[in-house]
Amino acid sequence: MNLSLAELHAAAQEAAEEALAREADAKAADENAAALAAERAQEAREKLRVQRDELLESATGGMYRDKASQEWREMPVQWRMALLMLAGIGGPAAVRAGLQLQPLALRNWRELPPAERNAVSSIVRTGRPHIARLIALSARV
């Protein structure tokens, strides 16, 4: 079979485009698999949290409540992120190092490292009297 240079070039171009298409499909499948795995991991963590709370309540006859974990869980993620930033977690140096605040804010309170928990607790203790006095700033005018 004797192919011309143009035909060889066209065949090579077609093969390259097919390879690129296969590579793009594989990359998209990997990204979808990673997103699905992350979603399933988040669902599994939530189920484990619920089961842990139920087990604690049944084991202690309802006498034990981890109030800090409950307050953290019920707080909107934006507020959690703000508290982490106020506590000095996630500043410019942390961003350069690749630390993301949202994944940290999405964690359960007991899943945060002790240093971060202590920093957040400290900033809440410090800010509580100031926030309690805010009336005009919270008014709907």
Contacts of 127 (CB under 8 A, 6+ apart): 86
- Domain check: are 88 and 60 in the same one? no
Q: pLDDT digit string (tens) for 83-117?
A: 999 998 876 666 666 678 888 899 888 888 899 99
The mean predicted confidence, pLDDT, of the chain is 84
Q: Do 80 and 31 belong to one domain? A: no
Instruction: Tell me the per-residue pLDDT of 51-73, one tens digit each, with 9 for 90 and over.
Output: 877 787 777 666 656 788 889 98
Q: Collapse the DSSP code of 99 into the 3-class scheme (helix H, G, I; strand E, B; otherwise coil) and give the result.
A: coil
Using CA atoms, how far apart are residues 14 and 33, in angstroms rounded to an integer? 28
Burial class (CB in 10 A: 0-12, 13-18, 19+), 62: exposed
Indicate whether 30 pLDDT > 90. Answer: no
Q: Specify whether 57 is located in the same domain as 45.
A: yes
Domain range spanning residue 103?
66-141
Share of the chain above pLDDT 90, in %: 23
User: Looking at the 3D structure of the chain, how many domains does it have?
Assistant: 2
